[in-house]
Every structure is written in C-alpha cells, then in structure tokens.
Structure 1
Amino acid sequence: MKTKIVTCFLLLSSFLTSAQKLDYSILTIPDSLKQNANAVVRLKQIEINISSQKSMTYKTLSVITVLNEYGLRSLDLGENYDRNNRINKIEAVAYDAFGKELKTYKRKDFKDQSATDDGTIFSDNRVLYLDYTPITYPFTMVYESEIESANTVFIPSWFPMESYLVSTQNTVLTITFKPELKLKIKELNFSDTFPIEKMETPTSVKYTVKNLIAKRPEELAPKFEQLFPKVMFGLSVFSLEGINGNADSWSEMGKWFYDEILNGTNELSEETKNNVKNLVGNEKEPLKKAAIIYKYVQEKTRYVSIQEGIGGWKPMLAKDVDKLGYGDCKALTNYTKALLDQVGVTSYYARLYGDSSKREIDTDIVSFQSNHVILAIPNNNDYVWLECTSQILPFGFQGDFTDDRNAFVIKPNGGEIIKTKTYTESDNLKSVKASYTITEQGNLSGKVHMISKGLQYDDSYSKERASYENQVKAYKEEFSNINNLKIKKIGLTNNSETIEFTEDIELEAEGYAQNSAGKLLFALNAFDQNSYVPKKYRTREFAFQIDRGYTNEAAIEINLPTGFIIEAKPEGITLDTEFGYYKIEFITQTDNKILCQRKMVLKKGFYDKSKYESYRKFRETIAKNDNSKIVITKA
C-alpha cells in the first residue's frame, strides 16, 4: 500500500513538473507581448536581503523567451564576483519553443574569466558566465543565481522594463532589511501607463508589475532611464570593502569619504615637494600654478586601470604614483591634488559619471552613483575642472565625457553636488573659410581653413595624433558630398592656450560638377554641408532631446570657369525657430565669383513629441538648401 502511494505521488509530481514546464511554451505568451518584441521576460524575480550593515544576498530567478537572434542581447547569464562578492549559486536550463527541456547547465558549465579589459593592470574582479549558442529560435532560458556581498553601499536599481523591444510578462522585486540601516528609495517615471503595485512594511518593500508591452526605440528620444520606470535604493548605514559608513546627506557622505577613503593617500617625498615648488617658482596666480602642475603630471604619468578590492574606490598613494609614473582616474586625480597642495592651490576630488551621453547623479537620493574621478579647482564663484587621465587635453578643458552634469565634490568638511561646465551653442563653434575653383571640365581645386572651439574642438583635435592615412580618411568622411576627393596637403595647429584647433586643407576632385551638354551643375556649399534628417514617424510616442547645441559658420568663395555665365542660382533661405537658426545666401560678387555664406545654430533642448515633425522639417530644409545647386553654361 505504501509503495502504491509513493508511486502515485511520484507520478503526480512528474505530471506537475511537466505541466509547469508547459508554461514555458511560446503558445502561452499573450499576443500583445509578442508585438514589437525580440524577447519576452516571462518572469523576473529578484530578492534582496540586507541582513546587516556588512551582509547582503541577491537572488535572481529569470525566465526569458528569446523570439529571434536580436533577442539574444536580452540574456544576462553571468555574475561578477571578487573577494567581497561571492557567488553561492548559478545555473540555467534551456527549453525549446514548446517547453521541452533542451539542456541543464550547472556551475561547472559557466566560464570563469577576468571582468576587466586589457587596460587594467590590477584587478580582482571576475565574471562567471554562460556562453550559450542557441540551436533554434524561439527558445526559453531559465536562469537562477545567488550572490552574497559585504558591500551594502551598492544596491542595484530596479528596471521593470529592461530594454527596448523586450516585453515583460511578470516581474517582482522584494527587499528585506533591518530598519536601523535606513533604506532610502527613489522612484522615477511612475505613471498610470505602468501599473506597478507596491507593498511596504517597516522591514520590507515589494514591487510587482505585469504585462508591459515592448516599446520601439525612437530617434532622438531621451535616455531609456528617463522614459521608463526605475527605482533607486541606498542605505544610510552601509559598508564599502569593510569600511563602515553612515550618511543621510551628500555633505555627510562627502565627509565620510574624505575621512575614510581619501585620508592618508596624499603623502609625497620631500624630493618631490621641493621639485614642484621649484617648478612653480615665483608664480603667484593659482590657475597659472595649477597649469604648470597639470602639464607636469601629463608629462610624467600615464593612465592605467586599477580595480582591486578597495582600490576600486580608494586611490593609490600619491607617493606610489610619483614613483611608478602611472595610475587610474582616482590615483592621477589624487596625485595632482597632492602636488597642488604643495604649491598652495586648493583643489577637490570629484566623482561623477563619465559618459558622452551625460549620465547624471540623482541628487534626490544619497548613494554611490559614479564611475569616474576628476579634479575641481575653485575659481572665484566657479570651478575649473581637470581631466587628470589625459596626456593631451588642454588645462581646464572638459570634453563631452564629463561636461554639463552633476559632480560629487568631496571637501574636508563635507560633500557637495556641483554642476560641471556647460557649453552654450556659441561656445561650440566651428568656423570655415574656404575658396575653390571649378574648371571647364567640372573639376574642383580649393583650400579650406577651419577653426574649432568648445566641444567642436573635442571632436577635432585627435586628428593631430592620427596617421596621415587616417587623417585623409577623416576628411573624406567629413567631405563625403565630394566624389573623387583627393587630399593634397594637411596642416594642423592645436593651440592649447586658446583651446582652438585649426585645420588647413588643400584638396581637389575630378568631376565635382556634373557636365551635361556644356552645362555644369554643382552644389555651391562644398565644405559645410549637413545632410542629417531625422527619421519620420507616422505616430511619435516619446519626447525628443538635443543634448548639446553648436554653431557652424562658413564663408566659401567659388570661382567659376572663364567664359561661363550663370543660368540658375539658388536664392538662399533664413530660418529662425525654437530649435535653432539657419541662414544661407549666395552672393554674386563678379561675373565669375560667388560667395556662399552660411550660419547654422542648433539649440540644446528637451521638446514635446508634438514638436518632433517641426524639428524634422527644420533639419530637412537645412539639408535641402545646403545641397542647393547652381547651373552655369558657356556664354
């Protein structure tokens, strides 16, 4: 009798297991979740348990159906680990389209390798990951992991929508914690569009959301995390690499960081102290002294990445950087600061997100939010910012990696959030003065003189260090409207004092003008064309954003071949809109000389989706008029 009961129980268990796996069939996915989707998150269950100031576990169960090869990027089948982050569990099971098990993967099937790039010389960061190659689509992957961490300063943000073109059927986040640790929560982009349920107790918080339909990306849309729900977390009482902390404000966080992380890292040898003092000499102006020190650091050191233990956050000792001649962003910034201290120049260590897309620190939640370090020098009521990892950037220049964003500036008496330099559209100036001649055969020969400032300097100055072949390639891309282009001569001047980059180019091109029955047809604006036109949408869903503004100015002199007269010439146009300004005119100076004058100003801004089509037409009109053509014929 007992045997029969056990047998029946096993058969029932087998049936239930098989039934559960049938849930992985694509036939059970609602059709609405398949629309626009490369993958569907069937279930994402995250459990975070913060049991003490120095102990946190992070459990993940994810069930993702990958519908096609583009959905592969939605699979995250790996975990990072180091001496303070241990992987307790990691496994996966693959199923076919109808829920039939294909293969089970245990820990031994996951690859173990360094989690850093070739530029990192010291690191204990490693990654355990499954290198999965599907044999068919669609398929479903069930992935489970458990991480135990002593670093409670980092609590991952929650994104119920993981990316574009991915639907979410069911996702749940649960955090349990000790009340005395003071969990901080910041919710962003919550709305009726995303029916998120929240349950909260003194020791836990739980978020649940179902049936989020995949969204298509749109050109010029704000960053993903600005559009879709996100929840950020932090603790007032935390631990970082074994160092305890307690901070409810940015000021307290900065004081803790200064005392516990930076303290004792700025010592230098007496020889180095004397050297830098002699180097500065009798100079009294703080910024001039800082410029001397900055150049000294650029010539003496090079950048390497160091991500070992507390070295991921605590800089190398300044005396070690001085001895070895290398360091990462933390070490080189701290070293520069130590040198400036010796010559009486005040400066501050500053953390921010280094990213050309201008990722921001959210000031509403005090937590660790950064990946890069720069140096801030107070200057009257403003700051001069130094990128200490670069051996070539001019003193005080910020490129698009650190411009216009919040920086966490760490001072002896506390921390402060300060905005880095913001460039206006007039700061980001490119000026073109050029002349060219068209021959009777339609060939072009000319000279171009260009000066770039602001972030346009940032876009151009690297040409100076490029090979001649790569310089030629860059100009062929820049003047891609000119077929058969040949670069005859290149002259480059990088003025680090005025932060201007000057380019003098001599060039020629066969057949620039189309020759038909003795008539020549060509675009007068040969060297400053902008052909970009945003994509047209039948129905726009998201707002759009122009991250940075700029100004382009051009004066181009065109010499026509002798014996030709103008049959048809473009009239030019002026546009003055909320997005920017554009004017192009074609002035006949003599019978065989025309001046093309152009100015384009693009404004930084965040715009409602209702204005997108107006902006698109603005850019379409610019592209059309930049390429407007003249017709000349023999007299």
Structure 2
Amino acid sequence: MTIRITALLLFFISIQATAQKLEYSILTLPDSLKQNANAIIRLNKVDIHISSQKSMTVNQYRVVTVLNELGLEDLNLVAHYDKNTRVSGIEATAYDSFGKEIKAYKRKDFKDVSVADGVSIFNDNRALYLDYTPVGYPFTMIFECKTETANTAFIQPWVPLEGYLISTQNSEFTITYKPELHLRYKEVNFSNGITLNKNETTGKISYTAKNLVAKKREDLSPDFYDVFPIVYFTLDYFALESVEGKASSWEEFGKWYYDSLLSGTDELPEATQEKIKELVGTEKNPIEIAKKVYHFVQQKTRYVSVQVGIGGWKPMLAKDVDKLGYGDCKALTNYTRALLKTVGVASYYTVVYAGDREMRDLQSDFSSLQGNHAILTLPTDNGLVWLECTSQVQPFGFQGDFTDDRNVLLIKPEGGEIVKTKTFTEKENLKTTTAQYQVTENGHLSGKVKMVSNGLQYDWSFHKERKSREDQIKDYKEEFSNINNLKINKIAFHNNVQQIEFTEELEMEAESYAQNSAGKLLFALNAFDQNAFVPKKYKNREFPFAIDRGYTDMSLTEITLPEGYVVEAKPEGIMLDNEFGYYKIEFIPEGNSKIVCKRKMVLKKGFYDKSKYETYRKFRETIAKNDNSKIVITKP
C-alpha cells in the first residue's frame, strides 16, 4: 500500500513539474532587472545556420516575462514568411508569475495575416501572429520558431538590449556558415559600459550577454542605433529571391543592384517618349528639363505601396507605372529616372533610410542590404539635387525632413557611392514673424500675424493649406496655446514653390488675454512667438543628448496699449550666446502707447556629452521664462 501511494505521489509530482517552468518564476528574478522595466527578456537564443549561398535556417527560443501592460509589445509573437521563406515550426506557451503553465499554443492557434500597411495593393509578405490577451500580470511567454529561407542577403542583427524599459537576463546569438561565403560583421556601441562576450572560430561566430538592466528613455536621447550595442552581419556572397550577388564594398554592391534589380526596368512606350520630348521642347538646361518631367510625374501618378518582387526591392517596370498611373517609392523613382533618360538627363536611383523623427544613416563602412525608401538624385554642375518622387505636392528639388542630412546610396551603372543628403543649417531653417495687436481696457486682444517659413520650417508648415478649416484652427490653437480663448477670424496662405517659402497671414482675437487685477492689466508682450519647451531635469543623466536640427526664429511684434494706461512694470529683456545657440529679446517703448517686442532665437544642431545637458536645460528654461515675461500697465 505504501509503495502504491509513493508511486502515485511521484506521478503527480512529475505531472506538476512538466506543467511548470520554475526557473521562470517571477521570484527567481533579481530586483535589478525589474527596475525601470516593462518586460524582461529571460532568454533570447537565436541560432542561424547558413548552409549555402541560397539557404539559411533561423531557430529562435525566446522567453519573455511581461511585468505590465506596456510590456506586451515586447512579446514579438510573430514569424514572417513569403514565397521564398517558410515557417517550418512555431509554438508558444504562457506561464503565470510562479511558472505554472496557463496555456500552450500550436501553429493552428496563430493567425495567418497579410503584412499590409493599409496602402499596399500588392503584397506577398505574410506573417503568423499570436494575438495573446493575458489574464493577469506578470506572466511569462515561451516562443519557439524555425524559419527556412533562400534569401541570405539580409541577416538579422544581434541586439542584446532590445529597447528602452526592457531588461535582458540572457541573450545568446550564434551564426554558423560556410567560410567561402565570407561573413562580415560590424560591432556598434560596444563601449557603453555593457559587458558582452564574443567567441569566433572558422565558420562560426557567437555572442552572449547577461543581466543587462533596463534603461529609461531621457529627453533628447539620441536614436536607438546611436546608443545601444548592435552587431550587424552580412555575406559577401548572398542571394535575394534566387538572384545571386557578390559585394564586399558599396561600389560592388551598387553594381550588383543596378545590374540585377534596375537593368531592363526603364523601358517606356513610344507614345510616352514622344509626349515627354514634346513637353521638354527646345529646353536645354538639365534642371529646367527635370522640373518639367518632375511635374509631369506629380500630375500623372500617385503613390501606392507595392510589396512584391525581389524582396520588395526591385521596382515595377516603368512601362507598367506609365500604364497604371501608380507605384511605390521604387516604382515612381525608377519611372522618373526612365523619363529623364528619354530626354538625355542623367539621374541616379538612390536608397535611403527615410523618417522625419529618426535620421538614420546607411553605414558608409559596411556595405549590405540597407534602407527602406528610394529617391532620385540629379548630378548637376552645382551639386546634387534630390527628388522625392512619391509626393504630389513637394516642390522640385526640395528635400524635407523625411530624407535630409543622412548617408544614402547612389546606384550608378558603374557601381554604388555613399553620399550625404542636404543638411539644412539653422540659418536656412528660418521663420520670420511680424505682428501687430492691441489690448483693450477690458483685456481683449485683437491683431494680425504674418509668418514666413523657409527651409525645414517650410516643410513643417506648408501642409496646413491642404487641411480643413477646422483642422487649421485646431493647429493654430495648439501653436498659440499661450493665448486662452483664441478666435481665428481670417486665414490666408501663399505657397511660393519656386522660392520654397510659405506665408501664413492671420487675423485673430482673444477675450481676457490680459488679466485684470485691481484695475491693473498683466499680460505677456510676446504673444505670438513663444517657445515653452524645457527639457526634463535629471539628477544623474545617463545618455548624451542630440539636437537633430537647428533653426532660427525671428519676430517683430508691435503692441498698442489701451488709451490712458501707463507702464508700471516692464521686462528688461535678455541676450544669451553659447554653443547651443543664441537668444535675444527686447521690449522697446515707442511713445506712450506702443511697445515693440523684438525677438531672435537660434538653435544649433549638435551631439553633446551628458555633462552639458544641465547647461542646455537652463538655456531653454531661460528662453521659456523670458518669452512669457509680462508687462503691468495701469491708469494713473
């Protein structure tokens, strides 16, 4: 009897053990990994095996403990596939905070979805995705996935610390490969005080990292790619959608790109060739010819994402774009290139990492499949001219903040070349404001404002003319948020696309702009050009900080005081000049009833050590304070 009871007890213990992952209990986590973390990567083990130029297998075993709702996005329960990549195995298992199994998920539980972006009309990329809704926090998810692909042109990087507010307990990354394929790698940000281990032998390289604590995002922190450790990988001998390639330099990579992806795509119908030649007429200036072609493309085509073809990298045929009237960035760039070629103007298809919030470079010292967007480059006697071929409203030759100031790849017939797109200076990014307003005895404000924007300030403003009146008013109320009860009575725009200059003219009013206290009126003289941004204060800042783009704001505001009032107290103004920029504001009386507020603020682009952060913060704090400095007027 005792033997039977003991056997039964062992049986239940065995079952309980199989249903638990005690090592993934929340109780086993060190407190240091929980601090500042929404999720903790308990283990991320990636094994990549490249058996040939056209064969790569990726095995992933990933264990993530999610501490709260914000950590859900770090689960990454997804596997992508297409006609050349298949998911040969996928499953997941959820555990509660003590490591007890909640539920196991097999392939049939994963949703099979198209990886569409909302605008793609053709898209052969798909994904298996587990839509998991937790019953409580914290919980742990084990995710196992195996993919097999013929595409070896892109090898995922090793990113041991995956982002802000995520800790990593254990990360293991291994690549085995045939030495004759020539694996290259690049280590970035390895000197940031994080312990990483590497082991390299012939045909194999591996990295490990343990107990990497979560980092908080700080105001003005540089991009993720400039802070966290990353290792990039590529092969000299690779394949993309059955097209083999060899490239150990950008020149060689560009030559392969041109020959394999662009060559033969620029054929146009005879009728279109004749039409574009007739449009150009007798014009001989390449820039003027390009303007006519660019405007032709803007009027004839529209942007539609097309994610098919060679990994989404090979453009649609130019003749198909001509027939259909649409295309994605690759197609429209290539179509414009083909039209220019027809009338004898050379241009280069150009690969770029696009994004207005993140200025990411193609790595000039590491040739590989990079970038997420295509633009067109014109070589001229006065330098390179950049064309955004997906926009129906962007002025010719104007490069906005979507692709400015970053390394890009020119694809030339003879090979690739890394160049930098235009960097707008703080002087070029100029906004000039002239305004007049009067304050009545009851504190009512009424006035006119004229704002003229150039450079990137143009890019940040000219979209307003295409918005609804309701949205325009909403924008202005946000822009002039320092003015309560604001009412916009008139809005007029002038968009000078030749000079790249956008003008806004407003008529507005606001009740109770000036505060009345015992017969005295108190209000900020600088009503229309305030900058209230003050970076957060840190006792111990960890990261350097970046000012991605510089600019200049200048304003001249004439204020008319109510009749019979005199100035009791007026701000004196201030001037600051340092490595971050320049600021000067003056309040100049003109007679008894008028004051002129004259302001200039210059912010310089830069990448700065964390030791300078507090100085910069105080610089911005002083600007915000003086922008809102107030006058007191009273009746004698």
- TM-score normalised by structure 1 residue count: 0.97
Residue 391 of structure 2 is aligned to residue 412 of structure 1: no
Q: 1:278 to 1:42 in 2, by over 3 A?
A: same
Q: 1:19 to 1:295 in 2, by over 3 A?
A: closer
- How far does the alpha carbon of each residue in 1:114-148 deviate from its partner, in whole angstroms, 9 at most, with x for none? 11122000011111111001001111100000111
Shift of 1:191: 2.7
Contact 1:406 1:419 in 2 (8 A): yes
Residue 529 of structure 2 is aligned to residue 528 of structure 1: yes
Q: Distance in 2 between matches of 1:89 and 1:559?
A: 75
Q: 1:534 to 1:53 in 2, by over 3 A?
A: same
Q: Distance in 2 between matches of 1:67 and 1:517?
A: 55
The correspondence of residues 47-126 of structure 1 with structure 2, limited to 5 A, is 47-126=47-126
**1:48 aligned partner, one-letter code:** I
Residue 372 of structure 2 is aligned to residue 371 of structure 1: yes
Q: CA RMSD in A?
A: 1.5
Residue 551 of structure 2 is aligned to residue 550 of structure 1: yes
Aligned position for 2:594: 593
1:156 is paired with a residue whose SS is strand
Aligned position for 2:629: 628
Q: Distance in 1 between matches of 2:536 and 2:291?
A: 45
Contact 2:20 2:101 in 1 (8 A): no
Q: Distance in 2 between matches of 1:411 and 1:530?
A: 45
The correspondence of residues 171-182 of structure 1 with structure 2, limited to 5 A, is 171-182=171-182
Residue 147 of structure 2 is aligned to residue 147 of structure 1: yes
Aligned position for 2:224: 224
Aligned position for 1:501: 502
**1:35 aligned partner, one-letter code:** Q
Contact 1:533 1:623 in 2 (8 A): yes
- How far does the alpha carbon of each residue in 1:528-548 deviate from its partner, in whole angstroms, 9 at most, with x for none? 000000000011111100000
Q: 1:408 to 1:192 in 2, by over 3 A?
A: closer
Aligned position for 2:187: 187
Where do 5+ consecutive residues of structure 2 fail to align? none
Aligned position for 2:619: 618
- How far does the alpha carbon of each residue in 1:434-487 deviate from its partner, in whole angstroms, 9 at most, with x for none? 000111111010000000011100100000100111111111111111010000
**1:36 aligned partner, one-letter code:** N
Aligned position for 2:426: 425
Shift of 1:14: 3.3
Shift of 1:112: 1.1
Contact 1:96 1:139 in 2 (8 A): yes
Shift of 1:309: 3.2
**2:116 aligned partner, one-letter code:** T
Aligned residue pairs, count: 629
Shift of 1:359: 1.3
**2:511 aligned partner, one-letter code:** E
1:309 is paired with a residue whose SS is coil
Q: Distance in 1 between matches of 2:517 and 2:445?
A: 16
Aligned position for 2:249: 249
Contact 1:265 1:317 in 2 (8 A): yes
**1:585 aligned partner, one-letter code:** E
Shift of 1:17: 4.8
Shift of 1:16: 10
Contact 1:438 1:560 in 2 (8 A): yes
Aligned position for 1:481: 482
Q: Distance in 2 between matches of 1:225 and 1:403?
A: 17
The correspondence of residues 70-469 of structure 1 with structure 2, limited to 5 A, is 70-191=70-191, 193-310=193-310, 312-356=312-356, 357-380=358-381, 382-469=383-470
Q: Distance in 2 between matches of 1:404 and 1:523?
A: 37
Shift of 1:218: 0.7
**1:360 aligned partner, one-letter code:** D
Q: Distance in 2 between matches of 1:478 and 1:148?
A: 51
2:416 is paired with a residue whose SS is strand
Task: Report the more deviating stretch, 358-367 or 412-421.
Answer: 358-367
Q: Distance in 2 between matches of 1:304 and 1:69?
A: 35
Q: Distance in 2 between matches of 1:468 and 1:18?
A: 63
- How far does the alpha carbon of each residue in 1:364-388 deviate from its partner, in whole angstroms, 9 at most, with x for none? 2110110000000012252000000
Q: Distance in 2 between matches of 1:352 and 1:55?
A: 27
Q: Distance in 2 between matches of 1:51 and 1:15?
A: 39
Quote the sequence identity (%).
64
- How far does the alpha carbon of each residue in 1:562-601 deviate from its partner, in whole angstroms, 9 at most, with x for none? 1111111000000001100000000001110110000000
Contact 2:450 2:505 in 1 (8 A): yes
Q: Which runs of 4+ in 1 moved over 4 A?
A: 10-13, 15-20
The correspondence of residues 5-44 of structure 1 with structure 2, limited to 5 A, is 14=14, 17-18=17-18, 21-44=21-44
Contact 1:79 1:87 in 2 (8 A): yes
Q: Distance in 2 between matches of 1:243 and 1:427?
A: 44
Q: Distance in 2 between matches of 1:71 and 1:530?
A: 34
**2:97 aligned partner, one-letter code:** A
**2:549 aligned partner, one-letter code:** R
Task: Report the more deviating stretch, 43-52 or 62-71.
Answer: 62-71
Q: Distance in 2 between matches of 1:451 and 1:242?
A: 52
**2:500 aligned partner, one-letter code:** I
Q: Distance in 2 between matches of 1:429 and 1:13?
A: 73
**2:541 aligned partner, one-letter code:** R
Contact 1:83 1:309 in 2 (8 A): no
Residue 540 of structure 2 is aligned to residue 539 of structure 1: yes
Where do 5+ consecutive residues of structure 1 fail to align? none
Q: Distance in 2 between matches of 1:111 and 1:309?
A: 24
Q: Distance in 2 between matches of 1:316 and 1:136?
A: 48
1:312 is paired with a residue whose SS is coil
Q: Distance in 1 between matches of 2:192 and 2:279?
A: 63
